[in-house]
Structure 1
Amino acid sequence: MERIILGRLIRFCIYDNIYMKFTIKGEDVNMKEYKYISLFSGGGIGDIGFRNADYIPIVMNELEENRAEIIKNNYPDSDVIVGDIATHLEEIYEKALKKLNGERLFMLVATPPCQGMSKNGIGSIKKAIREGKRKKIDERNYLYRYALVLLQRFRPKFFVWENVDRMFNTLLLNEDGKEVLFVDEFKIQLEKRGYIGKFEVHNMAEYGIPQNRRRTIGVFVDKELMGEAFDVNKLFPQAILDKVNFKTVGETIGQLPALDSVDKKMAKSDFHPLHFVPVSRPELYYWISNTKPNCSAFDNNECPECHYISEKEDVFCKQCGKLLPKPTVEKDGEYRLIKGFVSTYKRMSADEPAPTITTRSAYACSDKNIHPTQNRVLSLYEVALLFGINPNEYKWTVRKNGKEIYASAMLLRDILGEPVTPVYTKLLGENLKRIEEMPK
């Protein structure tokens, strides 16, 4: 598999030992443009922050057509290249080169998919590989090599990488065929190409987002730009909030019109096209409507009929025999509890930041997805707010049969469940501009 990946890169590797230097045009300080390339752009959500920091995405690349349509609607001046980066690398290069018109690229950003990254510890990963339960090579974990090719060819001033926090547990095979940690190998390759920096895990709640969202952020700068003695810790924006002052779910979405997943009429609102939720099937509604704040439906030991409190493992009320409002499954007339983690079918707290919002935000069975006080999951409008996004300042639409319509709820939940938050990328973008202007 690794040979296949390297084979796809071979026609670009002739540039590996060539530092391409761009003649930087004389520029008015007030007219300076911060041009960058965005790889694995998703729905362009993370790029909102860079745009708000006055950056210009000259080229954006996204594998999936439906996501790319949303990008095109929001970044009309960017060349959006749709498809596998492995087969479009030269096109990305040529189009960006043309748009730079002799200027030096300010920044290269790469935010690849995280599905190849494991939640398990290193020991568990190695054991799974030995037992044949996990592939030794996951091609998705080698996508960074395409970013390295463009880095080598453009020599941008800055390189930014973003992924999930479990990236620190991910194993790779290096050039010598040895198992190494992803972050260690990636850093070595960046340093070989003349870049200094580091990877850190940041919680987005520390940067003003009402969501506990831990992301691996890598920021690197051309060593020739800042000098080898530059303190790489300065590359990251400073956290602005401590845990005591984190923004909460309640203060962010508590004043919105109420919704209820009991039926179609109650599950939507005229307030905004994105403020609606899926209708719950009757048994699910029975579970969540009896779930107390900060609790899971698995904690529903109190019978809603006679109020007798049964035991944790009970499915039926021990006093009146009524089926308890717990997640259960029925087979051949027999009921048993659904197997699940303690955080499933659980309400989030109104007094804390939201838990990490994932692509499964539409499902009550997923991790702490139930609204703090209402009988439903979060609406797309609420999800956007919990990412620090003003829903009215982004186009959530695609074109179909010549008309612009809202993208499917599934697609929007996907693109909102994956990225770094725009508030963070705005702070990062502003910080890199300050660094570039520092006396050398």
Structure 2
Amino acid sequence: MTGKIPIFFTLEHGSCGIEKVNGILVIFYTILAMKNNTAIDLFCGAGGLTCGLKQAGFRVLAGIELLQIAAETYSANHHSTLVFQEDICNLSPKEVMQALSLKSGELSLLAGCPPCQGFSTLRTYRKASSVTDARNDLIFEFLRWVKVFMPKCIMLENVPALAKNRRMEIAMSQLKELGYHINDSSLRIENIADYGVPQRRFRMILIASLYGSINEPKKSAIKATVKDAIADLPKAGISGDPLHDLLAQHSEKTQKLFSLIPKNGGNRTDLPEEYWLECHKRYPKGFTDVYGRMSWDEVAPTITGGCVSPSKGRFLHPEENRAITLREAALLQTFPKDYHFSLRRGKGSAALMIGNALPPAFIRQQGEVIAEHLASLS
């Protein structure tokens, strides 16, 4: 690392900035690194993974995030965590380990979700630059940090397509060489709706330990629904919550279109043909979720970065003639009701942070079985 690297560190009584100047950290981070169940969140984004790990009882010592707006959001919510706002490729894991007063092998869990746009379903479908996307190789940055920290456990989360990619084979092989126990249940493709998240979303997750196998978390017998997540919110637009009150302004024609879509699960194919867009007329059976409503008694569709735009998916409110709000999207992702997302760069930036986040409730359950495994070692 060279030059100045911005680090955010928020204390309970206020916040202060810490800079690394000429290779020296001005302030060192020493908060309880010696305690059990410590974790570091690589590619931390707005903090969904950290939120879930904290709910599972982990002390998240540090997060690393490239984007400033996401790092600010993370810091605002996780007051005791050191946040490095930096390109992980330019960050030295040894120097971070020293800043945290840790030694190799002491960290309980190294977790992260490398940016996965190169393996996203849409990019893979289109083929356009998906194979050569530079972000595809960030999994090897995760491995670089594993080799330095040698944490007791690792957790890697990503889109399902990565599981079948050669890069994942290489990563798993290297983890085995390092001594991590990898078996048939270590790498899983899960629908997060099976874990009480009110959302249909398939994810790849790899969990491994240096000290044996880790049990899989039990799936929920009852699925959470859209109603469970957002039905009790106050009226959007006048709630006093900025994330719930920032409503889009639509034309009279668009408002009319929304009103014609049947409540509780209707979609654009239910519209009179005069309201169909030209592209929809050319592909009448495709992209049926576009301008679709959510259903109260079902799980939501995958919450994406376009989650507040009805033109990008089934993101209309089940009853009201509007898109879901940022707060509703965050709740469908299982963030706490008071979780802060910065609006400094507008609604679209906040929606992207929400859509890119890992659902805390899903991560909490993965974290709990890791915590049980760690407890069995003592």
* Structures share fold, TM-score greater than 0.5: yes
Paired position in structure 2 for 1:111: 113
- Per the alignment, do residues 136 and 375 of structure 1 end up closer, same or farther by CA in structure 2, a change over 3 Å counting? closer
Kept in 2: contact 1:396–1:406 (CA 8 A)? no
Three-state SS of the structure 2 residue aligned to 1:105 is: coil
Deviant stretches of 4+, over 6 Å: none
- Per the alignment, do residues 96 and 395 of structure 1 end up closer, same or farther by CA in structure 2, a change over 3 Å counting? farther
When the two structures are aligned, how many residues end up with a matched partner? 338
1:203 equivalent in alignment to 2:153: no
The amino acid of 2:254's aligned partner reads L
- Per the alignment, do residues 43 and 160 of structure 1 end up closer, same or farther by CA in structure 2, a change over 3 Å counting? same
- Per the alignment, do residues 285 and 337 of structure 1 end up closer, same or farther by CA in structure 2, a change over 3 Å counting? farther
Kept in 2: contact 1:36–1:108 (CA 8 A)? yes
1:188 equivalent in alignment to 2:173: yes
CA shift, 1:375, in A, is: 0.6
1:284 equivalent in alignment to 2:254: yes
Paired position in structure 2 for 1:246: 223
The amino acid of 1:384's aligned partner reads A
Three-state SS of the structure 1 residue aligned to 2:238 is: coil
Paired position in structure 1 for 2:76: 73
Q: Distance in 2 between matches of 1:80 and 1:135?
A: 30
Q: Distance in 2 between matches of 1:154 and 1:255?
A: 44
- Per the alignment, do residues 139 and 150 of structure 1 end up closer, same or farther by CA in structure 2, a change over 3 Å counting? same
2:269 pairs with one of 282, 293, 298: 298
Paired position in structure 2 for 1:137: 132
Three-state SS of the structure 1 residue aligned to 2:110 is: strand
Kept in 1: contact 2:118–2:130 (CA 8 A)? no
Q: Deviations over 1:390-409 (max 9, x none)?
A: 221x2334xxxxxxx76632
Kept in 2: contact 1:369–1:378 (CA 8 A)? yes
1:97 equivalent in alignment to 2:98: yes
Paired position in structure 2 for 1:154: 149
Superposed, which structure 2 residues align to 1:29-108 within 5 Å? 32-88=35-91, 90=92, 92-102=93-103, 104-108=106-110
The amino acid of 2:172's aligned partner reads K
Three-state SS of the structure 2 residue aligned to 1:217 is: strand
Q: Distance in 2 between matches of 1:327 and 1:299?
A: 13
- Per the alignment, do residues 439 and 82 of structure 1 end up closer, same or farther by CA in structure 2, a change over 3 Å counting? closer
Paired position in structure 2 for 1:175: none
Q: Which moved more, 1:56-65 or 1:101-110?
A: 101-110
Three-state SS of the structure 1 residue aligned to 2:291 is: coil
RMSD over equivalenced CA pairs, Å:
2.6
Q: Distance in 1 between matches of 2:130 and 2:203?
A: 24
Kept in 2: contact 1:298–1:327 (CA 8 A)? no
CA shift, 1:183, in A, is: 2.9
Q: Distance in 2 between matches of 1:168 and 1:251?
A: 32
- Per the alignment, do residues 81 and 255 of structure 1 end up closer, same or farther by CA in structure 2, a change over 3 Å counting? closer
Three-state SS of the structure 1 residue aligned to 2:311 is: coil
- Per the alignment, do residues 429 and 386 of structure 1 end up closer, same or farther by CA in structure 2, a change over 3 Å counting? same
The amino acid of 2:156's aligned partner reads W
- Per the alignment, do residues 439 and 34 of structure 1 end up closer, same or farther by CA in structure 2, a change over 3 Å counting? closer
CA shift, 1:249, in A, is: 0.9
Q: Distance in 2 between matches of 1:337 and 1:284?
A: 17
Q: Distance in 1 between matches of 2:52 and 2:36?
A: 16
CA shift, 1:328, in A, is: 4.7
Q: Deviations over 1:379-426 (max 9, x none)?
A: 11211221222221x2334xxxxxxx7663222211110122111222
1:270 equivalent in alignment to 2:265: no
Identity %: 26
Paired position in structure 2 for 1:320: none
Three-state SS of the structure 1 residue aligned to 2:275 is: coil
CA shift, 1:271, in A, is: 4.5
Q: Distance in 2 between matches of 1:113 and 1:74?
A: 21
In the alignment, structure 2 segments of 5+ residues that lack a partner are 1-31
- Per the alignment, do residues 95 and 426 of structure 1 end up closer, same or farther by CA in structure 2, a change over 3 Å counting? same
Kept in 1: contact 2:97–2:149 (CA 8 A)? no
Q: Quick check: which has more Rg, 1 or 2?
A: 1
2:328 pairs with one of 366, 371, 382: 382
Superposed, which structure 2 residues align to 1:327-406 within 5 Å? 327-328=277-278, 337=281, 341-392=287-338, 394-397=339-342
Paired position in structure 2 for 1:437: 375
Q: Distance in 1 between matches of 2:314 and 2:217?
A: 29
1:217 pairs with one of 179, 187, 205: 205
CA shift, 1:101, in A, is: 4.0
Q: Deviations over 1:283-316 (max 9, x none)?
A: 2222111111322223213xxxxxxxxxxxxx4x
Q: Distance in 2 between matches of 1:419 and 1:158?
A: 22
The amino acid of 1:190's aligned partner reads L
- Per the alignment, do residues 147 and 207 of structure 1 end up closer, same or farther by CA in structure 2, a change over 3 Å counting? same
